Amino acid sequence: MNENCEKYDLYILTEESSIINEPTPKFYQRFDYQGITINRAIKDYYSYATNREKVSVLKWIVNNSEFQKIKRFSNTENFIYGLNLSQYDDILLSGEMPKNLEIAQKFVRNKYDVFLLSNPSNCKSADFIIRQKNLLYYVEGKTFNGNNSLDHLFEKGCQQSEIVVINIVGDKTTNYLKKEIKRAFVQLTNLHEIMLFKGTRLIRISRSIATSKHFYDDFARIWTASK
């Protein structure tokens, strides 16, 4: 295991699963997406085959002026951005905490900015774009609470994004988790990375790590470690 993994209690993301901040292709420099809605941009994201094109869509989305900081759910260093902020006032009044907003707050505590995406009715969409150190990731969020199966969440999440984050609620056996994670990478060829939240602790698992011969031992050591 990499020494950094032990130090920070998380797996290090490999290059294969990162969406890197590349130069904007000429298409976007010329058209600049003027007059295009965020939902249309999300639809375009799925139509492009290259990482370079996908990055340009994500960059345009996070720089869109429609996003506003949700200050009450952020901290002084990292922020959650949303659309139509009045809906979050309604959430506070009702005393409810949506699952995606709970996941977003955990990302903020791990030094990410989070952009909450709407669910367009005419195309598929992931839940978040997260940003850290100028890197952008397009992420689908799920909550595992024992009332659903982990393999089903991975399968559903992969239909939305190549990166799936699972918020683990309650105590789950290490053996079950590590076997389902490894199975997911074997069966879901488009899956690049799994992110797990154990409490507020973030564990990131890339395909190369999950398919290594030491994965079971490494995962058990990290999952059971106290922060």
How high is the mean pLDDT in each 10-residue block of the chain (227 residues)?
34 37 39 69 89 90 91 91 76 66 94 89 86 94 87 94 93 87 95 95 94 92 80
Task: Cite the DSSP H helix spans in the chain.
Answer: 3-8, 26-31, 38-47, 51-62, 86-94, 99-109, 150-158, 174-187, 207-210, 215-224
Domain that holds residue 190: 3-224
C-alpha span between 12 and 2 (Å, rounded): 8
Q: 90: which residues sit within 8 A by CB, 6+ positions away?
A: none
Contact of 192 with 206, CB cutoff 8 Å: yes
C-alpha span between 8 and 5 (Å, rounded): 5
Residue 68 has a CB neighbour count (10 Å cut-off) of: 14
Number of domains composing the chain: 1
Q: What is the pLDDT of residues 89-142, one digit of tens each?
A: 666 655 555 888 899 999 999 999 999 998 776 778 999 999 998 899 999 999
77: its two tokens: 């260093």
pTM above 0.75, yes or no: yes
